[in-house]
Amino acid sequence: MRAKIIGVGSCVPEKVVTNHELTKTVDTSDEWIRTRTGIQERRLSDEATATSDLAIVAAERALAKANLSAQDLDLIIVGTTTPDTLFPSVACILQGKLSAVKAAAFDVSAACSGFNFALTTATQFIENGLYKNVLVIGADTLTKYVDWNDRGTCVLFGDGAGAVVLTASDDGSGVLASWLKAEGHLSDKLIMPGGGSRDPGQKNGRFITMDGKNVFKFATRVLEESILAVLKKANLETKDIDLLIPHQANSRIISHVVKKMDLPNEKVFVNLHKYGNTSAASIPIALDEAFAEGIIKAGDIVVLSGFGAGLTCGANIIKW
Ligand code: UT7
């Protein structure tokens, strides 16, 4: 029995902020942001919008595509590091609002790798026969946690949510293999220092702190490592990939890996110019767009690979 994706949906806030707009408040330029990251604009949630508000719309869209109702769900897993509140989980908030009465619900904290970690977790529940229908979401509102005076981070992030509905299937399609990794010795390279139990009063600040260069080095290394690892587990080779959807953080990270692996550009989906880095949401938003654009067809081999704070990295290989 495999975990097969039968519905995909996404949601981004309406407000668009271009690079040009950022230059009015921070010492940066459209040229710097484009050439160093590939980002042209990003979406920002307003004060009243929390992560679950974007996640619920993505979830409803995915459920509609899957032709399932929330009451059919056995489990909801949300990958997020920007929950509405420290507790309850975003997954429980969604379970209540969707009236998914028989679903268990929990969040997974793996930052930008959150969607892949959640997808792998959901796959285990389906493969071992415990659950049939699982909703997996990646959702984050990191723009609420950036220091708008720190040009090294504020130009990078955007908000959004993406969701998939998985069902147990024995038709040969679904998640073929998964691979997850953590390098906790690098945990200080990308960190939100305040707000947790070590600093509930946020004396250390409430903003994302990042050592961009070291995260960049980690990302280029593990993106390739993760793709090769899931291919090997699935007994496939690089040439078998029909579409790679990498975490949408920086086009230079993606190009570096694509070149090193000798992957044709048309086999790599990139939409970060429109959204920036939406953290756990970036891969399912890209998956939704790729599917809507007709890029993914039945039988295709699709690789999803993401990296982020932890530091973490996770990949899943799917036969569509
Ligand atoms: O999901 C994981 C999330 N994180 C990532 O994926 C981040 C990975 N890292 C990166 O993407 C890149 O390291 C950055 C885009 C963050 C930075 O690019 P870089 O090529 O590593 O730039 P840098 O940090 O080496 O900075 C080069 C110069 C510096 O100026 P000086 O010291 O050479 O005079 C920075 O102060 O660029 C300056 N700089 C900027 N200039 C204009 C840094 N940010 C900006 C900016 N606009 N926004």
| Per-residue confidence (pLDDT) for residue 265, from 0 to 100 | 93
**In 89-210, which ranges are continuous DSSP H helix?**
90-98, 114-127, 151-154
CA distance 208 to 192: 5
For ligand 1, the distance from its centroid to the CA atom of residue 44, given in whole angstroms, is 21
One fold for 2-171 and 175-319: yes
| Per-residue confidence (pLDDT) for residue 130, from 0 to 100 | 98
| Backbone torsions φ then ψ of 246, nearest 5 degrees | -85, 165
Q: Which two tokens stand for residue 57?
A: 């719309």
Q: Is the pLDDT of residue 276 over 90?
A: yes
Question: Could you identify the atom of ligand 1 that is nearest to the CA of residue 249?
Answer: 6
Ligand 1 atom 21, closest CA: 213
* Cut 0.95: pTM above it: yes
Please provide the size of the chain in residues: 320
- Domain 2-171 listed as CATH 3.40.630.190: no
Mean pLDDT of 217-240: 97
Give the CA distances from residue 231 to residues 226, 239, 264, 316, in Å, rounded to whole numbers and listed in that order: 9, 10, 17, 9
Please say whether the dihedral angle defined by the alpha carbons of residues 180, 184, 186 and 188, taken in this order, is positive or negative: positive
Q: Provide CATH code, domain 175-319.
A: 3.40.47.10
CA distance 244 to 242: 7
Ligand 1 atom 18, closest CA: 36
Give the CA distances from residue 87 to residues 80, 90, 93, 138, in Å, rounded to whole numbers and listed in that order: 12, 8, 10, 17
Q: Is the pLDDT of residue 3 over 90?
A: yes
| Per-residue confidence (pLDDT) for residue 256, from 0 to 100 | 95
Contact 198, 26 (CB under 8 A): no
Task: Encode pLDDT of 86-136 as tens digits.
Answer: 999 999 999 999 999 999 999 999 999 999 999 999 999 999 999 999 999
In the chain, where are the structural domains located? 2-171, 175-319
| Per-residue confidence (pLDDT) for residue 205, from 0 to 100 | 86
Q: Is the pLDDT of residue 82 over 90?
A: yes
Task: Encode pLDDT of 22-50 as tens digits.
Answer: 999 999 999 999 999 999 999 999 999 99
In one-letter notation, the amino acid at residue 98 is: L
Question: Could you identify the atom of ligand 1 that is nearest to the CA of residue 151?
Answer: 48
Question: Could you identify the atom of ligand 1 that is nearest to the CA of residue 282?
Answer: 1
Q: Is 272 helix (H, G, I), strand (E, B) or coil?
A: helix
| Per-residue confidence (pLDDT) for residue 204, from 0 to 100 | 85
Ligand 1: list residues with CB < 6 Å. 28, 32-33, 36-37, 112, 151-152, 155, 210, 212-213, 215-216, 219, 249-250, 277, 308
| Per-residue confidence (pLDDT) for residue 217, from 0 to 100 | 97
| Per-residue confidence (pLDDT) for residue 11, from 0 to 100 | 98
Task: Classify residue 128 by burial, with Cβ atoms within 10 Å: 0-12, 13-18, 19+.
Answer: exposed
For ligand 1, the distance from its centroid to the CA atom of residue 118, given in whole angstroms, is 29
For ligand 1, the distance from its centroid to the CA atom of residue 218, given in whole angstroms, is 15
Q: Provide the β-strand partners of residue 159.
A: 141
Question: Could you identify the atom of ligand 1 that is nearest to the CA of residue 111?
Answer: 1
Q: Is the pLDDT of residue 18 over 90?
A: yes
pLDDT averaged over the chain? 97
Ligand 1 atom 25, closest CA: 213
Ligand 1 pocket mutation pick from 36, 149, 191, 282 by most atoms within 8 angstroms of CB:
36
Work out whether strand 104-108 and strand 75-79 pair parallel, antiparallel, or are unpaired: parallel
For ligand 1, the distance from its centroid to the CA atom of residue 143, given in whole angstroms, is 17
Ligand 1 atom 14, closest CA: 212
Residue 277 DSSP symbol:
B
